[in-house]
């Protein structure tokens, strides 16, 4: 696929002090033409119909894609104990393995909890309880659209089944998620 090339500032982290500022270089990053055309289309649509452009961007940004579950993930889920966790009036798909201190595993955007099932056997063998769940609008959990505040609330709801001792492990590396979990864990010994 053809790509446009944009320049991006890159710093040489091996230098320190004032020399660091002089070591800044630029490297080229390819940007697929499709993304450039999408950006142009959104801008043009925004000129013609801001409301329609807003709906289009909302759909692109807040509606995750759902992919078929591979056989290996189905097998991991088959060995799990489903938990009944309700978030905003709807049941989240939450699975648990083992007993002991809990490791709460959170998948990334467009993902599902079963994708992290490969970690469960080793953690259970090490004496941990593993809890995974599908965030709202992901995997087997209901919904069509979601956002980070809602996902943070879902982590809080799912984490409540894991307290008082829980470790958060996942692919979401947002300050929202990390700061919430830090506050919750401080409430328990």
150: three-class secondary structure by DSSP: helix
Angle of the 50-62 helix axis to the 33-48 helix axis, nearest 10: 140
Please indicate whether residue 170 or residue 79 has the higher confidence score (pLDDT).
79
Counted residue by residue, the chain has a size of 189
For residue 54, give both structure tokens.
């807003």
CB 164 within 8 A of CB 186: no
Q: Which two tokens stand for residue 119?
A: 């970690």
Work out the burial of residue 101: count CB atoms within 10 Å of its CB; fewer than 13 is exposed, 13-18 middle, 19 or more buried.
middle
Measured CA to CA, the distance from residue 184 to residue 176 in angstroms comes to 12
- In the prediction, which pLDDT does 41 show? 92
pTM confidence score: 0.67
Instruction: Supply the pLDDT for residue 102.
Output: 86
Q: Which helix (H) or strand (E) holds 130?
A: strand 129-133
Which pLDDT does position 177 carry in this prediction? 54
pLDDT (tens digit, 9 = 90+) per residue, 137-184? 999 999 999 988 888 888 888 877 766 566 766 665 444 555 555 554
Confidence tier at 189 by pLDDT (50, 70, 90): very low
Task: Kindly list the structural domains of the chain, giving each domain's residue range(s) and its CATH number in brackets, ordered by start.
Answer: 3-62 (no CATH), 71-186 (3.40.50.1820)
Task: With H, G, I as helix, E, B as strand and everything else as coil, classify residue 10.
Answer: strand
Could you tell me where the DSSP H helices lie in 5-142? 17-22, 33-48, 50-62, 71-78, 120-125
Going by C-alpha positions, the residue among 84, 111, 107, 83 that lies closest to residue 97 is: 83
Would you say residue 59 has pLDDT above 70? yes
- For residue 151, what are the contacts with CB-CB under 8 A and spacing of at least 6? 135, 136, 172, 177
């Amino acid at each position: 696929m053809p790509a446009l090339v944009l320049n991006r500032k890159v710093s040489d982290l091996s230098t320190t002090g004032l020399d660091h500022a002089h070591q800044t270089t630029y490297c080229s990053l390819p940007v697929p033409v499709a993304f450039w055309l999408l950006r142009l289309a959104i801008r043009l649509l925004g000129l013609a119909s801001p409301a329609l452009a807003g709906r289009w961007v909302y759909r692109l940004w807040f509606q995750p894609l759902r992919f078929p579950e591979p056989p290996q993930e189905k097998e991991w889920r088959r060995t799990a104990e489903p938990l009944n966790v309700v978030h905003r009036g709807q049941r989240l798909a939450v699975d648990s393995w083992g007993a002991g201190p809990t490791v709460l595993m959170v998948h990334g955007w467009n993902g599902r909890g079963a994708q992290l099932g490969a970690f469960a056997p080793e953690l259970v063998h090490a004496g941990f309880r593993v809890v995974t769940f599908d965030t709202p609008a992901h995997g087997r959990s209901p919904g069509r659209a979601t956002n980070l505040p809602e996902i943070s609330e879902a982590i809080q709801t799912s984490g409540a089944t894991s307290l008082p001792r829980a470790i958060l492990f996942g692919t979401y590396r947002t300050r929202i998620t990390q700061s919430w979990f830090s506050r919750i864990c401080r409430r328990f010994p």
